[in-house]
Amino acid sequence: MVSFLEGPLRKAIAQGFRGKLKIGTLSRSTASVLDAYGDPLPSGEETYPFEGFVEGFSLYSRSQAGIPDTDAKISIIGGSLPDGIVPQQDDRIEIGGQRFNTVRLISVDPAGALYETQATELRDG
C-alpha cells in the first residue's frame, strides 16, 4: 500500500531544502549482459544528482553496531532523486569533495523524504 505521504510531503520537503544542502551524485552500475554462470556483468553506469549531507555516527552507534571509523552517515533528500531511485548497497556517492561506497540503507521515513545510508569513504592511494 502506498502511503499518502509519499507524493505531496516528499515533494514539499525537497522543495524546502532545495539549494540549502550539498550537491552530490549517486552512481549505480548497470548490467545488461550475463557471464557464463548467469551472473550480471557491469556494463554501464547511471548517475543521479541529489541534495544531502554527510555526518558521522555517534560513538554509541559505532560501538553497538560495529560501524568502522571510516564509515559515515550520508543523508539524501528523497525528493531530489528521480522517482523510483532508492540508494542501495554498492552505489557510489560523491558529495562535498568526498567519495563513498554505500554499505547499506539504514533508514527511510514513511514519506520517502530522507534516506540515511552507511557508506565507506573511498580514498585515493
Count of CA atoms in the C-beta half-sphere (13 A) of 32: 4
Query: For cell 528523497, what's the residue?
Result: 78
Confidence of residue 1 (pLDDT cuts 50, 70, 90): very low
Domain ranges in the chain are 8-122
Q: How far apart are CA 17 and CA 53, in angstroms?
A: 11
Considering the entire predicted model, what is its pTM?
A: 0.84
Residue partners of 23: CB distance under 8 A and separation at least 6: 49, 50, 51, 95
8-122: in CATH 2.40.10.270: yes
Q: Which tens digit of pLDDT belongs to each residue from 96-122?
A: 999 999 999 999 998 899 999 999 999
- Closest listed residue to residue 6, CA positions, set 86, 115, 110, 85: 110
Residue position matching grid coordinates 555517534: 58
3-state secondary structure of 11: helix
